[in-house]
Amino acid sequence: MLAYDNTSRPDLTQWSFTETEFNPLAQGKCESIMSLGNGYMGLRSATEEAYIGQTRNLFVNGTFNRFDEFEVTELPNAADVTGMDIYIDGERFSLDTGKTAEYARSLNMRDAELTRSFVWENRAGKRVRFAFRRFVSLGNLHLIGMKAEVTPLDADISLRAVSGIDAQLGNSGSQHFHEGEKRIFDKTVMQLIQTTTESKVDFVIHAAHRFSLDGQPLSIEPKMEIERRKMAMQYGCDIKAGQTFELQKLASVHTSRDAEHATDYDLAVMREQAREEIRLALDAGYDALFERHRQAWAEVWDKYLFRIESKHDFDLLALRFAVYHLVVMTPAHDNRMGIGAKGLSGEGYKGHSFWDTEIFILPFYIYSGPDVARRLLEYRYQGLEGARRKAKENGYEGAMYPWEAAWPTDGEVTPVWGAVDIVTGKQTKIWSGFIEQHITSDIAYAVWHYVQATGDRDFMDRCGYEMILDTAKFWASRLEWNEALARYEINEVIGPDEYKEHVDNNAFTNYMAHFNMELAIQYYELLRREQPELFRRLNEQLDLERAYADWKQKLGRMYLPQPNEDGVIPQDDTYLQKQLIDLTKYKAQQKVGTLFEDYNLDQVNGIQVSKQADIMMLFYLLENRFSAHLKHTNYNYYEPKTLHDSSLSYSTHCILANDFDDSQLAYELFRKAAEIDLGTHMHSSDAGIHSASLGGVWQCVVMGFAGIRMLDGALHLNPKLPQEWERLTFPLYWKSARLEVDITHDALRISTDANEELTLIIRGTATSFVNQLELHF
């Protein structure tokens, strides 16, 4: 059970949510949605004591390893430092036994701290209050702080705690680490050094404890244990009724992938520095370390300062939840890393990056933290090497970005085999890595979007032109000439709607490829005219003059699907001829994917049913190429056939519903998007949170209800608050000026420190101002 209000901490209203009952059968939910992290590492919030059904995960961004040649590379699950077994009078504490009262596990997003407390009664009837706290530091990216307080309420107890570093875990059975080296220093500091088996990334993990009784420091002689892939310390203490015993555990993680070791790496130096760091952390203690972390988060919330005044407290909570996880999952510290489709909160999608980043998450950073947006695009720039290799291997030119990406130079890492085919009993083949190709133009689009909004010419010169020009080269080589129809086509693809495989002329793919080439033509001409030296260099590198002639020749003859007599744009060549079935049951489903309980993917391919926004995504990204009427007609055709089985679907539909002035529907769709992880479905997040959908929640608010859009290089605002809301305020970066936007039903106020005149298009009218703008509707 989840509660969204916080009665015991009114200061945390709309900042925290709580699990009010421990459910051993639904541990994945809170492990994921309450996961902690700092972009460097992500820690799933599994309980200290072990239960069947839990998943203990600690991922360090960028540390990909390939188990063997039959699997693709993935983020290895590092050794667990959070496990702790507590024995009361010899009985192992577990919520599976005895009685539990006053249970609450909360994520305080303001301070990024996980807390858990309850009163547990053991078999002998002794009641003990437990309180756990935990954070993954934003002040020091390598540090994890934990604290456990144990207070016997009505009788003395004897306590034993076993706590250590456990590397006996893996990723669903795959073990990514060599056994490694273990040592305990001064009966205090545990040190584990392990190396990944294929990528040879060294991990140095430390953990150490300190204790107090009723606030007085306590020294306890431990019993030490070292076993295979595991080490632990055992501590014992007698506690009188009413006394509080506190155990603090500080842990740290360093790897040879860390940016500071990129050029000058020496394991001996790293382990010594890390050991010194944990010693200092132990001296400082949880509270002091937490204070530094809390201040770092206060700066985050200052930077992304937004407010929603709504009839429903849930709405602001949901936006904060989205931003909390976006910060936790994003490697803002290192441009060699991307964002995983599940962030760093679970094994799902193996830590790989998809178009989720560029199309769903990047807009949040473009408009609220452009420095981070640039780093994410630099990651893709470094990925050009793998993208060029993929193009070559497939017989194309230029850069063909991988559908799933890991370390920048890895190239394509999409696995080949997936879920069971209910008809054949075999595994279903995952075709995305071969034929879901729109990612290439999605990345080019993102570069263009970023530079239009920020005006970052330096990024364009260093990376952006090359990315757009080389991706356009890929598309030109990818086009197929249809002699009978005298046009260029793109056949045999998967579009955004993954329920349609091996289709010809997916509208989204064709239009976006066309956009990519069109952009390349414009940039080619601009560079040639205005930056001859850069042009010369890129021309030499990419053979641009030949490519330009090719683009010019092909662009005008490219097939862009047009509306039929009913005004419906065919999603692909055959979609509109496929079978229509009654989808009522699946539209009303309580969990995603129920269609596959009745059909296999081959059969689904033959039905007019969609997984997610496809043409709708096209309307959103290239919105001024289509009329409002056409968009609405197509929405009415495709939405009833869309099961929103991908978490990427609701937010796009929400934004379009807003554009159609259906603000009630838009609000309902916003809620659905927000509830994918934060809602009460107890299994939707088992494999990790849904990164794209969290970016989508932010987009529902800013691109949807505030109506922000970048069109033809201008910033448009078309605010339409839902009836439930009174007010919306948020920061917005536009061409390096920071704006504070404040929207109510009858007014729009914008303020900025930039002393230059700004021109924005507000509800269709160009409006200029310096510093302040106030408009009443």
Is residue 426 part of an annotated ligand binding site?
Answer: no
Extract the tokens encoding 620: 């959103």
Among 149, 169, 153, smallest CA distance to 161 is for: 149
- Between 138 and 405, whose beta carbon lies closer to ligand IFM? 405
- Between 67 and 349, whose beta carbon lies closer to ligand IFM? 349
In whole angstroms, the minimum distance from the beta carbon of 632 to ligand IFM comes to 24
| First-to-last C-alpha distance (Å) of the chain | 43
Task: Determine contact, residues 42/75, Cβ cutoff 8 Å.
Answer: no
Task: Determine contact, residues 338/379, Cβ cutoff 8 Å.
Answer: yes
Task: Determine contact, residues 306/729, Cβ cutoff 8 Å.
Answer: yes
Query: How many other β-carbons are positioned within 10 Å of the β-carbon of residue 640?
Result: 13
Greatest Cα pair distance, the chain, in angstroms, is: 89
- Between 439 and 555, whose beta carbon lies closer to ligand IFM? 439
CA atoms within 13 A on the CB side of 384: 21
- Between 137 and 646, whose beta carbon lies closer to ligand IFM? 646
Among 664, 638, 671, smallest CA distance to 572 is for: 638
DSSP state, residue 460: I
In whole angstroms, the minimum distance from the beta carbon of 598 to ligand IFM comes to 20
Tokens 């555990």, residue located: 249
In whole angstroms, the minimum distance from the beta carbon of 496 to ligand IFM comes to 6
Q: Where are the beta strands (DSSP E) in 620-764?
A: 709-711, 714-717, 725-734, 737-744, 747-752, 758-762
Angle at alpha carbon of residue 439, lines to 435 and 440, rounded to 5°: 95
- Between 12 and 689, whose beta carbon lies closer to ligand IFM? 689
Query: How many other β-carbons are positioned within 10 Å of the β-carbon of residue 153?
Result: 14
CA atoms within 13 A on the CB side of 401: 31
Of the candidates 113, 498, 501, 639, the residue annotated as catalytic is 498
Q: How distant is the alpha carbon of residue 94 from its chain centre?
A: 32
In whole angstroms, the minimum distance from the beta carbon of 170 to ligand IFM comes to 23
- Between 356 and 677, whose beta carbon lies closer to ligand IFM? 356
Among 721, 723, 699, smallest CA distance to 709 is for: 699
Which residues, 6 or more positions from 407, have their beta carbon under 8 angstroms from its beta carbon?
62, 64, 73, 199, 336
Is residue 371 part of an annotated ligand binding site?
Answer: no
Is residue 355 part of an annotated ligand binding site?
Answer: yes
- Between 408 and 695, whose beta carbon lies closer to ligand IFM? 695
In whole angstroms, the minimum distance from the beta carbon of 642 to ligand IFM comes to 13
Among 106, 126, 107, 108, smallest CA distance to 117 is for: 106
Query: How many other β-carbons are positioned within 10 Å of the β-carbon of residue 585?
Result: 11
In whole angstroms, the minimum distance from the beta carbon of 486 to ligand IFM comes to 33
Adjacent-strand bridge partners of 88: 91, 159
Q: Which is it for the CA torsion 462, 467, 468, 472, positive or negative?
A: positive
- Between 84 and 654, whose beta carbon lies closer to ligand IFM? 654
- Between 310 and 510, whose beta carbon lies closer to ligand IFM? 510
Measured CA to CA, the distance from residue 710 to residue 760 in angstroms comes to 10
Helix, strand, coil distribution of the chain in percent, nearest 5: 35, 25, 35
CA atoms within 13 A on the CB side of 480: 10
In whole angstroms, the minimum distance from the beta carbon of 695 to ligand IFM comes to 11
Measured CA to CA, the distance from residue 23 to residue 35 in angstroms comes to 17
Tokens 């989508």, residue located: 696
In whole angstroms, the minimum distance from the beta carbon of 684 to ligand IFM comes to 13
With 0-12 / 13-18 / 19 or more C-beta atoms within 10 angstroms meaning exposed / middle / buried, residue 454 is buried
Task: Determine contact, residues 380/467, Cβ cutoff 8 Å.
Answer: yes
In whole angstroms, the minimum distance from the beta carbon of 691 to ligand IFM comes to 7
Is residue 612 part of an annotated ligand binding site?
Answer: yes
In whole angstroms, the minimum distance from the beta carbon of 692 to ligand IFM comes to 5
498 is catalytic: yes
DSSP state, residue 221: P
Measured CA to CA, the distance from residue 116 to residue 139 in angstroms comes to 22
- Between 76 and 496, whose beta carbon lies closer to ligand IFM? 496
Angle at alpha carbon of residue 44, lines to 198 and 270, rounded to 5°: 50
Interface ranges with ligand IFM (CB under 6 A): 341, 349, 354-356, 496, 498, 646, 648, 692
- Between 323 and 648, whose beta carbon lies closer to ligand IFM? 648
Q: Which run of H or of E encompasses 252?
A: strand 245-255
In whole angstroms, the minimum distance from the beta carbon of 648 to ligand IFM comes to 5
Among 257, 163, 253, smallest CA distance to 206 is for: 253
In whole angstroms, the minimum distance from the beta carbon of 644 to ligand IFM comes to 11
DSSP state, residue 260: G
Query: How many other β-carbons are positioned within 10 Å of the β-carbon of residue 360?
Result: 28
DSSP assignments along 537-564, one per residue = HHHHHHTHHHHHHHHHHHHTTB------
- Between 29 and 690, whose beta carbon lies closer to ligand IFM? 690
CA atoms within 13 A on the CB side of 235: 24
Catalytic residue ranges? 498
Q: Which residues are annotated as a binding site for substrate?
A: 355-356, 611-612
Q: Which residues are annotated as a binding site?
A: 355-356, 611-612
